Amino acid sequence: MFIFMIVLFVAGYMMIALEHPLKLNKAATALLLGVLLWGCAIVGGESLLASSASLRDYLLIRPESNFTGWLVNHQLVEAFAEIAQILFFLLGAMTIVEVVDTQQGFHIITDKIKTTRKVKLLWVISILAFFLSAVLDNMTTAIVMIALTRKLVESKKDRWLFAGMIIIAANAGGAWSPIGDVTTIMLWIGGKITALNIIKMTFLASLTSLIVPLTVLSFFMKGRVSRPEIITEKKEEKTPQWQKNLFLCMGIGALLFVPVFKTITHLPPYLGMMGGLAVIWIISEIVHRKTHAELKKKYSIVTILTKIDTPTILFFLGILLAVSALQTVGHLGLLAAKLDTIPLEEPSKYYVISIIIGLISSIVDNVPLVAGAMGMYNFACDHYFWEFLAYSAGTGGSILIIGSAAGVAVMGMEKIDFIWYLKKITWLALLGYFAGAGVFMSEKWVRDRFGSECNKPNVELITNDNHDDV
């Protein structure tokens, strides 16, 4: 059953990749895959587990329980709680962006971008996404930038190329910021990195991972983009300028408020997102109290919620359920432990481990991979391994479109084909990934060569029973 779960995951993954030839919606496949893997876990029983440490600890606290109780009432509930946070965060962000779009707030930005040259516009959008992602997070940034791109690029073929670079830019921007990606947040909160040091050590590598594919793609992109036709509003339905300004500022403010809310309260980010949405909802109701019925319905948050791409959210649910099942049984923990057997000396060994984790994160969620590494190694705070791991896990997700939250969100919004992304964007993401890795390693070599003593080896592999479930 242990091996069968791996085969099942690979088969499900291939069905998702071949969504269009098979004519099966990826959300349905992902949901079925998640349910089947958890079904395998409960059918396989305790003997299926790679490590039973977590189960033993649970039974010590609740001796009246059993394996089924542990799996259903502890592991599944805990996994679903983590997944729900991401889903509600995504729902809130997509709704806020849709509100700003409905109120034509994005017109303020798009009206200032005059260029129609493909190359110049590509650089503007990608650089904007790179820096915005460091302040927000990669998924929210991707949602916002796709909404902007829809106002600037009409051709579906061109917009997919822009969307691919937005994914790369958003993931690269999130990797060098302590609040830009869920993995950097994990490392930061876990005391593995400090805010200023992660910026200093990974900024140049992350920027390189964007600039390289941008430069290469610039040689292939020619001509100009055609903008979507602007539908002229009736005089009585024309959105006032102050209303556009208000909802653009409120939308951006709500998104920027999320990391501030988390820092101040230490509560999960999705609560900040829900709070921001609630405020916008209330203000919208107040602003449109006296608007006539037809227009009021158009601006209503209830109407806007019907525009949200629910299949994308369900796809996310299925994929994360599937990965959490593999994590619970122990597949990912064994993978992390296996990586440590690579027969290389430091620092080459830990460079290779981080690079492999980054490549694997394009297939499975990077959160359990990073969590496994955090449980296995006892490096000092700000050791180069943690910084390189943040870079690798953050930017590696761009290699495949379902390798990151940003990619999944864009895939759902633009209906991008998995195979198309594999052919057109994957090789660019790989070029940037390895180029950025080379820059990081070169920087460390220079620092070590010229007298830096701050990143000397200090590692202990954690192998005691308290961590054998990693």
Sorted by where each begins, the domain ranges of the chain are: 85-226+237-310
Specify the pLDDT at position 244: 85
Instruction: Quickly count: other Cβ atoms within 10 Å of residue 120's Cβ.
Output: 15
Closest CA to 318 of 32, 75, 72, 41: 32
DSSP lists the bridge partners of residue 377 as: 461
DSSP conformation letters of 308-332: S-HHHHHHHHHHHHHHHHHHHHTHH
Q: Is the pTM of this model over 0.85?
A: no
Percent of the chain with pLDDT over 70: 91
Q: Compute the distance between CA of residue 283 and CA of residue 345 in angstroms, rounded to an integer.
A: 59
Q: If you average pLDDT over residues 97-109, what whole number do you get?
A: 81
Q: If you average pLDDT over residues 246-269, what whole number do you get?
A: 83
427/298: higher pLDDT: 427
Most confident of 43-52, 154-163, 428-437: 428-437
Helices 26-44 and 2-17: angle between axes, nearest 10 degrees: 180
DSSP lists the bridge partners of residue 224 as: 117
Q: If you average pLDDT over residues 126-155, what whole number do you get?
A: 85
Q: Compute the distance between CA of residue 201 and CA of residue 391 in angstroms, rounded to an integer.
A: 10
User: Hey, what amino acid is at 104?
Assistant: Q
